[in-house]
Amino acid sequence: MASLLDSYEQQYSSVTADITFHIGQISTNHGAEKQTNIRQADKLFDEASELLEQMDLEVQELEARDRQKYTTRVKSYKAELLKLQADMKKAKLGIDANRDELFGDDTHDSEDMRTRLLDNSELLERSSRNLEHGYRAAVETEQMGAQIMDDLHKQRQTIGRSRNRLEEMNTNLGKSSRVLSGMMKRIIQNRVLMLGIVLILLIVISLAIYFTVKKHS
């Protein structure tokens, strides 16, 4: 919320600076050029009033500890805008706006100017801090992004190596499976061969016994 108010304050400072410029032009120019500056100043006054209304709405949403500070600022901005409107009327009538500063309440005007300068200095300092914080955040984000990309690259390399190892293991398992299949075939063949030999030996022994017994009979 405070950052939004800071944005409004920056816009307001810019608008009032433009108003002051056009009031100076109104005092020195004549004819069509003077009327152009009057119209532009009127538009800027409307814009400044809208900004003050937005500030009032935002101040109401602040916590109590911040509300008083911003309320005081908005009041000073309103007083400043009223003074600029008075200077605008004098400029339209061709009255020297500086005459009142020389012969009028110089103390009050000086105090307003000093307050405005202090507020603007504080605003610039706060904006500078915000920019510095934003720059630091951007640098930290960039560093974090670079670290993440580096980690992802390392993880991708690790996954690639693991995949290559798995492919090698699959290849080795395939070769081992073929070797085992060949060994099983040879074992089966050897067993069949042994059974055949044993069967032949049994037949031969049986025949030998038969003929021996028969011969003695």
| CA dist., res. 32 & res. 40, Å (int) | 12
Asked if the structure places residue 202 within a domain, the reply is no
Give me the pLDDT at residue 117, please. 67
Asked if the structure places residue 204 within a domain, the reply is no
Give me the pLDDT at residue 91, please. 84
Residue-by-residue DSSP string for 12-74: HHHHHHHHHHHHHHHHH--HHHHHHHHHHHHHHHHHHHHHHHHHHHHHHTS-HHHHHHHHHHH
Asked if the structure places residue 132 within a domain, the reply is yes
Give me the pLDDT at residue 203, please. 92
Asked if the structure places residue 206 within a domain, the reply is no
Asked if the structure places residue 209 within a domain, the reply is no
Looking at residue 57, which CATH number applies to its domain?
1.20.58.400
- Show the CA angle centred on residue 44, arms to residues 17 and 129, nearest 5°: 45
Name the DSSP letter for residue 96: -
Tell the residue number behind the tokens 């009031």, with chain if given: 23
Asked if the structure places residue 95 within a domain, the reply is yes
Write out the two tokens for 104. Answer: 């009028």
C-beta atoms surrounding 48 within 10 Å: 23
Asked if the structure places residue 10 within a domain, the reply is yes
Asked if the structure places residue 201 within a domain, the reply is no
Give me the domain span that covers residue 7: 2-154
Instruction: Please count the structural domains in the chain.
Output: 1
Mean pLDDT by 10 residues, the chain (217 residues): 75 90 83 86 90 86 80 88 89 59 48 63 66 71 80 86 86 85 89 91 89 79
Give me the pLDDT at residue 116, please. 64
Give me the pLDDT at residue 82, please. 92
Which contacts qualify for 15-22: CB closer than 8 Å, 24 or more apart?
15/44, 15/47, 15/48, 15/51, 16/48, 16/80, 16/81, 16/84, 18/44, 19/44, 19/45, 19/48, 19/84, 19/88, 20/84
pTM equals 0.42
CB 45 within 8 A of CB 82: no
